Chain A
Amino acid sequence: MPFALSFRSSRLPRCLVALLLVAVSPAGADWFGKDKKIPDWGLEAAKTHTPAYAKDAPAVILFDEYVETVDAQGRSVERERKAIRILKPQGRHDANCGVSYDVDEKINYFRAWTIADDEKQYPALDTDFADVGDLAVPVMLSTEKRRVVHPPAADVGATILCESEELLAPYQQEMAWRIQSGVPVVFQALEVDLPPGRPHSEAWHRFLPVKPVEAAPNHWRWELKDTPALDLRDVRKAPAWAALAARMDVQWGDAAVEGKDNQWRAIGQWETTLEANRSDPSPEITAQTQSLIAGAPDFYTKLGRITDYIQKNVRYFIVERGIGGWQANHAADIFRNRYGDCKDKTTLLISMLQVAGIHAVYMPVDVRRGYVDPDAPSRYGDHMITAIEVPANVQDPRFKAMVKANDGERYLIFDPTDERTPVGNLPSELQGSYGTLAAGAASQVIALPVLGPETNGTERRGSFTLAADGTLTGSVDSSHFGPTGADLRSMLKYTDQKERREDWERVIGETLPGVTLDAFEFTEPAALDKPIEFHYKVTARQYSHQAGLLLLVRPRVLGSDALQFDDKPRVYPIDLGATGRWHTSFDIAIPPGYVVDETPDPVDLDLDFASYHSKVAANGNVLHYEREYVVRKVEIPPTEAASFRKLESAILTDEKGTAVLKKQ
């Protein structure tokens, strides 16, 4: 197949770089393992009885031990020993071991064995191993690979044993010990063997801290027993799995200092040093920036022209080779190529702002709200955004996404990778999260703001005519602003006309079965802070149904604000997605000869985190439907589950509401 060209591309609105490094369990390794004899630790681990609490799980991890041996320079060799028992046929998927490695890393060895249910022992052979490239993200060019083993005799009842050793990259001076998995873990341990005098620090996320044992001088060992699985499969509106999963971070680099604030400061300092000089402006950058800001009357305009330029002209594309997973390219290269990932876009933005006399710094974050935990300092995250210093004399109400640092400096938080959310606003998934303000010695972890409902939403107006045969025709004009508008703009950017039509017919068809999209048009102002408009015309045959002498009409017509919910007891927070205000106003002209006999009751519900108001009224021959849905929080605690159910039930009831028309 010499000519099989495949064009990888599509959008990835977020940068997954560091996530990919943390998402693969770092372990050790050599080219295919040759040692055929099962080691004692494996034989011992396989004797572990399957605990009763694991009986419903597809597999159980009986034993999982990491040993990090750190040299004088802080470089680590990581060994992992793991024993997994397959309990159900689908548990085979949980029984594959793997070791990720990049250009700066080396697998010393990687071996695997199986002890079958009948006690027969099978070593994995060379042919059972494979190296797999990092192809998961279409817009990424990554040198990272994962060596995986497909263990022999991987049947129900079998215990899979894997052992690997890997020389980690020199800049990897933190171990993110992911202590919770999709299956239960009977026993797990982490050892960190440090050279004399090298300090360490530890932090726990969603887990009660456990004290380590000093097995030898400066050789620490943590042990955990009976860790439950984290299974969110049946949990509606759950926060991100990674945000809820327990983990422990151990630092032995610069961040191995006393106190959380000091640790965050060290992490931010590391980031600052890593990216030092990356944002130095080239003459071309300087010229472009000066051209952009020429004549700008104020700070907002100057800033907006630069952010707008980057959002519209720098294509999202990740090139990741080793340290490139952490470190940005040089601004001059990014500017020349007009592509880059989140770190690159931030770098170019900082560079151009520097030309404009505006100071800005890197801010590592994670789009999985709750993953970055102020109580668990860590370098790991999956995204990079920008914190732009706003001078004290600038007070502009358009800057909504403002934070104040400990030193009193005010920063505007901005995501240059999000190509459609205007400066001043913030993508919903980042709101309520935390980021590292990488400001050198002034670095800190900082809470990202949750913006008010007025910063996001949709205004939808529709005018319809209902014929006596039940056909509904009409037009809808909607206006979308804030992150909702940004999503729509992104959809436009990454689809062609055919795809748009198909998408919208599908979306509208979900609430208006049998609909035909007669025409549609988007009005997209160049300025990102202006709402995007969507105008469309629809026909729905037999929208209303005869019921004897009655004609039944659902005044809501189309669109849904309802979120999935159920009556199960709630343990986890409820993710509401985004704050905002969504308003709908529809008029339906009823067929001549009919009058409105009944309408659904109005709904008025005001809660702490949201409100919903809806009413249907008959004005002459027009049925008027109006509703407003306001969300004020992005996430609520499980204790609010009853209120959430009440809200969703009210919305659902309203959306099903039926008006009755009667022939005169």
Chain B
Amino acid sequence: MRISVSLRSVLFFLLLASPVFLRAQFQQPSDEELKMTADPKAPGAAAVYLYHEETADGPAHASIVYDRIKVLTEKGKELATVSIPYEPSVDKVTAIEGRTIHADGTVIPLTAKPSDLVDIKTKGFQENSVTFTLPSVEAGSILEFRVKMRRDEEWTYLPTWEIQRPYFVHKAHYSFRPSAFTNMMYAFNIGPNAKVVQDKKDVFSLDIADVPPEPDDDWMPPMNTLRRHVEFFRNTGVTTGLAFWENQGKSWASWVEDFTKPTGRIKNALAGIVAPDDTEDKKAAKIYAAVMKLDNTAFTREKSKAERKKEKLKDIRKAEDVWKDQSGSDDDIALLYVALARAAGLKVWPMKVVDRNRAMFDNTYLSTYQMDDYIVVVELGGKKIYLDPGQKLCPYGSLHWKHTWATGFELTDKGAILATTPGLTYKASTIKRVADLNIDADGNVNGTVRLSMTGPNSLRWRQLALRNDEDEVKKQFNESLLADLPEGVQPDFDRFEALDDADTGLVGIANVSGNIGAATGKRFFLPGLFFQSRAKHPFVAQSKRIIPVDVHYPMLEQDQVTYHLPSSFNIESAPQDADNTWPDHAQLKIHSSAANGSVTVVRTLAYNFTLLDPKEYSNLHDFYQKVATADQQQLVLTRAPVAKGN
């Protein structure tokens, strides 16, 4: 068995004379590797990468992936199935070899033919996956495989080395020889004690050891801020990042100035939107309202080729085309706003930012592709106002949360600069829940719940309503509300107020009914914090953290619950007042009061942070533990003893 494997290796070696491929040969495992049952460097891990290698040789148009993996537990056996996506029009899979080595040294080669499966195929694009599964895997096995591909000569390599794998990596080697005519740069985050080396033959390489697994936690910031990687990109002739952003900024500025030129058609359109004697504020708001009315295909759908042909629609090349079509993408509409505002004489600039729900700006990655969406900055009365015309139903003067605290190009009087949008404060993102509940002597409850929302909370529901009819939104709202109510209480959603009015808070009203009481002989208990009795608080269970926390945006939650009690009940104890403050970060306040047979409990939770360093995690954990326990308080009532049945 081993002889045949080594013969194949020799042939393979002869085929791959390129120096970048010298490493990726099958290796005889050491006794230590064979006997390994756990890895002190990765306690509890299901598997570890003993070695991982990726090489790409531009001049040879060839690449190799090579892995040696130690399976430590049953779960680790999942790594025996390998699936490598590729584009058949760009790459050809030329060789796949693999084998499983049992802990006793027995070698079982891969003999089953790998499958080449279509992932997706459209006119002009196809992605396949070459998939194989290594045989006879057991806990203790070493999995070893090598996949070789050949790239079409019309294509060059632009690799991204994802340094972190799903499991701990003991050693890894990456190598990239660019094609002769390409000049490469790279952005990287590879952690300490590692360095990308560029040799005299322009081969880039990286040798790295002891790489922790990919980060995986709740409430993580975008992966591009965490993952270790090396990302290659073409050198556009600049030597520093500063020069790159300046150069690219100029090109972008030129394009966007041209796109948003206040042409005659734009000026005509403006005449129907604003009055000459409108103030600047009024003009800005009126233009915003006008573009919000257009068909925003990010919230409906893009017209197909067949439709555009039928309707004789041309491709959008200028802002005026968007107005002419009365339709455009979110970016088109944002830029149309800029064009109209420019025509109105406003001081207005477009800004192209990274979508913070996807990534955060990386100034070492010299690529403008990382910027996603257009927003608008308008200066009114000497003050910068940020607008989001591409986000349908986003209130005038505010941004979708994914565009807050987001970096990108901003066009200014001095040209394009890199700038960051402001973040939200907790006051701009609120949820207020008011419940008015009648309780009977058996603990049955009925009443109303009124939810008022502002900021991201209301925008989410409003944008959902753009893609669904109101009945569907009501259903989803009802399902969402159910999770906030105590066990045994059902919501019956009644109505929305201002679902399509972006300039005011969104209100949802529901009737609730059910049974929430728990009784003993003398007493009756109700959830002290009606909306929190089954809340799943974050950051409570996990006591330590090494990854930053990202909550997307700050928030203010206010609950006000009034229980109207039957006359036979007396209040023995209400939830204790609480005031837990985490200075400069968060606060929980609980206050209860009783009057005229009713008890009202008011709870306010505010947090005014977005991203937190892991150093602050223990404070966050402490705070939420207090929140979780305070929220479990009960309202204790006394009642006349009830005679028990037989």
Binding site for B on A (CB under 8 A): 1-11, 32, 56, 58, 88-90, 92, 120, 122-135, 139, 141-143, 145, 150, 152-155, 233-234, 313, 315, 317, 319, 321, 336-339, 470, 493-498, 502, 505-506, 509-510, 513-517, 540-543, 545-548, 550, 552, 562, 566-567, 598-601, 649, 652-653, 655-660
Given contacts A542-B626, A598-B520, list 12 more A-B pairs with CB under 8 A: A90-B467, A90-B469, A92-B301, A122-B306, A128-B305, A133-B118, A133-B119, A133-B129, A153-B303, A154-B301, A317-B133, A513-B632
A547–B576 Cα distance when bound, in Å, is 8
Total residue contacts A-B, CB cutoff 8 A? 262
Q: Mark B128-142, 1 if CB is under 8 A from A, else 0.
A: 110101011110000
Q: Mark B607-635, 1 if CB is under 8 A from A, else 0.
A: 00000000000000000011011111110
A2–B162 Cα distance when bound, in Å, is 12
Given contacts A139-B81, A652-B487, contact A548 B518 (CB under 8 A): no
Residue from A10, A90, A562 within 8 A of B468 (CB atoms):
A90
Q: Which residues of A contact B200 (CB under 8 A)?
A: none
Binding site for A on B (CB under 8 A): 43-46, 54, 56, 63, 65, 67, 73-75, 77-86, 91, 108, 112, 115, 117-124, 128-129, 131, 133, 135-138, 149, 151, 157, 159-162, 166, 300-301, 303-307, 310, 466-469, 471-472, 475, 487-488, 490, 515, 518-523, 525, 534-537, 540-543, 572-573, 576, 625-626, 628-634, 636, 644
Q: Which residues of A contact B537 (CB under 8 A)?
A: 513-514
Residue from A2, A7, A11 within 8 A of B83 (CB atoms):
A7
B161–A3 touching, CB < 8 Å:
yes
Residue from B65, B159, B629 within 8 A of A542 (CB atoms):
B629
A134–B133 Cα distance when bound, in Å, is 17
B518–A509 touching, CB < 8 Å:
no
What are 15 pairs between A and B in contact, CB < 8 Å?
A2-B157, A11-B78, A88-B468, A133-B118, A133-B119, A153-B303, A338-B135, A505-B542, A514-B628, A542-B629, A542-B632, A547-B573, A600-B518, A600-B519, A659-B520
B548 to chain A, nearest CB (A): 18
A122–B631 Cα distance when bound, in Å, is 57
Instruction: For the complex of A and B, list the 8 residue pairs with the smallest distance between their C-beta atoms, beginning with the closest.
Output: A497-B44, A9-B78, A547-B573, A505-B541, A542-B629, A514-B628, A152-B304, A656-B518
Given contacts A89-B469, A497-B43, A598-B521, contact A515 B541 (CB under 8 A): yes
Q: Which residues of B contact A513 (CB under 8 A)?
A: 535, 537, 540, 628-629, 631-632
Q: Which residues of B contact A120 (CB under 8 A)?
A: 310
A658–B487 Cα distance when bound, in Å, is 15
B310–A2 touching, CB < 8 Å:
no
A493–B75 Cα distance when bound, in Å, is 6
B472–A88 touching, CB < 8 Å:
yes
A505–B536 Cα distance when bound, in Å, is 12
- Give the residue among B120, B304, B543, B625 with the most A Cβ atoms within 10 A: B304
B120–A656 touching, CB < 8 Å:
no
Residue from A129, A506, A598 within 8 A of B541 (CB atoms):
A506
Given contacts A2-B151, A4-B85, A315-B80, contact A127 B576 (CB under 8 A): no
A404–B626 Cα distance when bound, in Å, is 59
A124 to chain B, nearest CB (A): 7
Residue from A2, A493, A509 within 8 A of B91 (CB atoms):
A2
B344 to chain A, nearest CB (A): 33
Q: Which residues of B contact A4 (CB under 8 A)?
A: 84-85, 160, 162
A510–B535 Cα distance when bound, in Å, is 8
Chain B residue at minimal CB-CB distance from A92: B301
Q: Which residues of B contact A32 (CB under 8 A)?
A: 123
B82–A562 touching, CB < 8 Å:
no
Q: Which residues of B contact A497 (CB under 8 A)?
A: 43-44
A656–B632 Cα distance when bound, in Å, is 11
B522–A598 touching, CB < 8 Å:
yes
Given contacts A4-B85, A514-B628, contact A128 B65 (CB under 8 A): no
A226–B65 Cα distance when bound, in Å, is 57
A464–B471 Cα distance when bound, in Å, is 48
Given contacts A88-B469, A152-B306, A153-B304, contact A601 B519 (CB under 8 A): yes
- Give the residue among A131, A319, A336, A496 with the most B Cβ atoms within 10 A: A496
Residue from A131, A143, A493 within 8 A of B115 (CB atoms):
A143
B63–A3 touching, CB < 8 Å:
yes
